[in-house]
Chains A and B, each alone.
Chain A
Amino acid sequence: MIIELGHYALVLALGVSILQAIMPVFGAARADRALMEIGTVAAKATFLLVALSFGVLTYAHVTSDFSVQNVWENSHSQIPLIYKFSGVWGNHEGSMLLWMLILTFFSALVAVFGDNLPDTLKANVLAVQAWIASAFSLFILLTSNPFNRLVDVPGEGRDLNPVLQDIGLAIHPPLLYLGYVGFSVCFSFAVAALIEGRIDAAWARWVRPWTLAAWTCLTAGIAMGSYWAYYELGWGGWWFWDPVENASFIPWLAGTALLHSALVMEKREALKIWTVLLAILTFSMSLLGTFLVRSGVLTSVHAFATDPTRGVFILVILILFIGGAFSLFAFRAAHLKAGGLFAPISREGALVLNNLILTTAAATVLTGTLYPLVLEALTGAKISVGAPFFNMTFGLLMLPLLLAVPFGPLLAWKRGDLLGAGQRLFAAVAIGLAAGCAIYYAQHGGPIMALAGLVLGAYMIAGSLTELFLRSGIGKVAGSVALRRLAGLPRSVFGTALAHIGLGVTLIGIVAVTAFETEHIVEMKPGMTTDAGGYTLRFDGLRDGKGPNYTEQSGHFTVMRAGVIVTEMWSSKRLYTARRMPTTEAGIKTFGSSQLYVSLGDGMADGGVVVRIWWKPMILCIWGGALVMMMGGAVSLSDRRLRIGAPSRAKKQKRPVLEPAQ
């Protein structure tokens, strides 16, 4: 009965969504307040209905109700409670329902916090959100219903895929979807603006917090997914250029570009048409990612199911939304007035460079991801486009951007002084050189390109701090004055600096682990030792163990440094009994920002076991940097000027932005 309630709530949500998709548009066109108000109420109602439906599915999973097909296929009465929860979205149907939940959550947020928006804009935004919601609830109900019942109720479930039985599954998909789907709000704002045919700096100001919030969550989701793959898969890799990773990375690149172009639009009223296009493009990439992952056209870890009707359905949604938005864009873009002019070398120019490189890089990743599909469809030839392709193209394209990052914030709006900015960055270059060399020698040499990479990373960190130093006048004025100025800087300045510093930290981590990582594959018998990264690992033997739903063989290692025991490690191979599926549980120990990573291989006839040991120097910088980027996003979001209830059009003119003199 409860299950049917969940199903019914979802059907009702579809009905309310359709109402919300139509009424507010008419309301906005006729300036009818009552009709427009339907959008606000409906958005809240849809969210509550979808939440109810999601709650029911969660209930079915937690109580192991195997009469529900979805639960039977993806759960087991013996798995720990946390995996019963996270198992709700560890499958295609539940994952789509989570997608819907987050989409309607964002619509509800717009409905609640959008009071400062002009009524017509708010009504149109909510309507566009509802178009997406209607399409996807129809998709779930017709092709991926999580509430299907089984006639013969099985006694036991078929278990959650063991790779997914990890705390990572509880965190990664919701965060990723918050980012992915969060960009729907930017899309809706763009389409609403095109419907109204009016767009100005205030629009950019309203869109920016949504972009920031989505971007921050997407950064978190991608970083989390990368760390999860790193420790769970036991291959020691943290990024595989897997099509599904790319599917989340492309919207991130486009979203980052959007974040920066919205800035130009907000401050200078330039790049209007481009920003609208980018807002549409970013969510289109999210939709494309959903299509690629959910349709099963890609062979990937994430392809839970491959059902052609689902693929075709999402493809239709994709074509309707992307095609529709671009047609509207083509029809309306000419009516939008172009904004302010600027010299090529200026803050705007730097942000245009940022956009140019980020979108080109995103297009490159997209090409590499889709090329095998297109080639196979056209010629039947099967190829794999992997890391070598992406490292060559993406890596090289991003290089000029990384060099330019510290310059951007130092250039003035409208007409900048490149030489002046260069002079001011002199110290940053020097610090970068010194720090880069220091890390390089601490890691005992390596390819010379690694040195260049480390210097670049350190230079980016120092360069981003330069902006804060200069604006507060540290070293030029008395310490107390500098501190007061520093505290008085707008939060978005700190946000920018933090995000750019985070990028530098990530870069250092990537370069260090790529250049200085060591890998040993050895056959070890109890008592044997192997050296890795200045530590000595002694293999002490295997032990059999048993978990709630698996059996395991764990290897015990003692870690020593210069003959002194530092710590111990366990690394194991598990066999999940329900699916007879083996997994590797790598042993990981952290030393500062570096890690020892141990995977067990096959046992040999003579009692030895194959062991793979990695020393991963500074690898935590990769995710640490992402964490700093997220902090940057959060700090920017908390900026007074960008609170979700952004200032209205009239107010904006009156209040000059207070900034300390340079």
Chain B
Amino acid sequence: MTRKQKRLAIIGGGVSFIFAAVLLVMFAFSQAVAYFYVPGDLAKAHLAPGTRIRLGGLVEAGSVKRGDGMTVSFSVTDTLDRVPVTYTGILPDLFREGQGVVAEGAFVAGSAVFVADTVLAKHDETYMPKDVADRLKAQGVSLGGKENIQ
């Protein structure tokens, strides 16, 4: 191969690999990301059943019910609207009524119940998932002065 051909082969190979990577990333963004909603958004969101989303809000006081076995049901609320959620498994240590929570999962077709496969309530007693805090603040919900503690 001549000098020029060598260079062309290397550059050509590199460019096509990067091009493939870009396509892959774009495809993955269309498939594998979850949008975040609070209960109030859902009415206008028109989600197709089975779409994976993250649902954030506060665990409504008095809504946590342990069913038979490992299934737990509770409601996520933004103080105006609420969404019933079921989850099977062990809830995180910091899951508590009245506290912020993010549930990841999907609505089952033809049902208003959100089936979560992941529930997040992170590592600080004053922790409020940032997404939840932002949205609740935008809706004028008082967070009980929790931010001041930090």
Contacts and interface: CB of A to CB of B under 8 A. Distances in A.
Interface of A: 161, 163, 234, 299, 301, 305-306, 341-344, 349, 352, 356-357, 360, 363-364, 367-368, 371, 381-386, 388-389, 392-393, 396-397, 521-523, 573, 579-584, 599, 601-602, 604-605, 610, 612
B150 interface: yes
Nearest to B20: A397
A363 to B, nearest CB: 8
B112 interface: no
Given A388-B32, A392-B28, A601 B90 contact: yes
A385 B1 CA distance: 44
Nearest to A382: B36
A164 B126 CA distance: 16
A341 B6 contact: yes
A383 B125 contact: no
15 contacts: A299-B131, A344-B1, A382-B54, A383-B33, A386-B32, A386-B33, A386-B34, A388-B28, A388-B31, A393-B24, A397-B24, A521-B70, A581-B125, A582-B93, A612-B90
B66 A356 contact: no
A610 B35 contact: no
A343 B1 contact: yes
A221 to B, nearest CB: 20
Nearest to B8: A344
A392 B33 CA distance: 11
B66 A602 contact: yes
A599 B89 CA distance: 11
A160 B50 CA distance: 41
Interface in B17-41: 17-18, 21, 24-25, 27-29, 31-36
Contacts, number: 112
A305 B147 CA distance: 11
Interface string B54-91: 10000000000010011000000000000000001111
A382 B90 contact: no
B143 interface: no
Contacts of B33: 383-386, 389
Interface of B: 1, 3, 6, 9-10, 13-14, 17-18, 21, 24-25, 27-29, 31-36, 54, 66, 69-70, 88-91, 93-94, 104, 122-125, 129-131, 150
Contacts of A344: 1, 6, 9-10, 13
A179 to B, nearest CB: 24
Given A384-B54, A393-B25, A602-B90, A343 B130 contact: no
A389 B28 contact: yes
Centre residue among B31, B70, B93, B124 by max chain A CB count within 10 A? B93
A371 B30 CA distance: 12
Nearest to B56: A382
A349 B10 contact: yes
A389 B25 CA distance: 8
A367 B25 contact: yes
A393 B35 contact: no
Contacts of A343: 1, 6
A383 B70 CA distance: 29
A602 B94 CA distance: 12
A521 B1 contact: no
Contacts of A581: 93-94, 124-125
A604 B71 CA distance: 12
A299 B90 contact: no
Given A301-B123, A360-B18, A382-B131, A341 B3 contact: yes
A161 B124 contact: yes
B138 to A, nearest CB: 10
Among B27, B69, B123, chain A packs the most CB atoms within 10 A around the CB of B123
Contact of A383 (B17, B35, B69): B35
Contacts of B123: 161, 163, 301
B126 to A, nearest CB: 9
B125 A580 contact: yes
The 4 closest A-B pairs by CB, nearest first: A601-B90, A382-B36, A388-B32, A299-B130
B72 to A, nearest CB: 8
Nearest to A392: B28
A161 B88 CA distance: 28
A161 B33 CA distance: 31
Nearest to B54: A384
A95 to B, nearest CB: 16
A235 B66 CA distance: 20
B150 A305 contact: yes
A364 B23 CA distance: 11
A440 B91 CA distance: 33
A172 to B, nearest CB: 15
Contact of B34 (A301, A371, A384): A384
Given A381-B35, A610-B70, A389 B29 contact: yes
B25 A364 contact: yes
A392 B31 contact: yes
Most buried by B among A299, A342, A367: A299
A361 to B, nearest CB: 8
A363 B9 CA distance: 23
Nearest to B131: A382
A583 B92 CA distance: 9
Contact of B93 (A389, A393, A573, A610): A573
A521 B90 contact: yes
A389 B88 CA distance: 24
Contacts of B34: 383-384, 386
Contacts of B24: 364, 392-393, 396-397
Contacts of A389: 28-29, 32-33
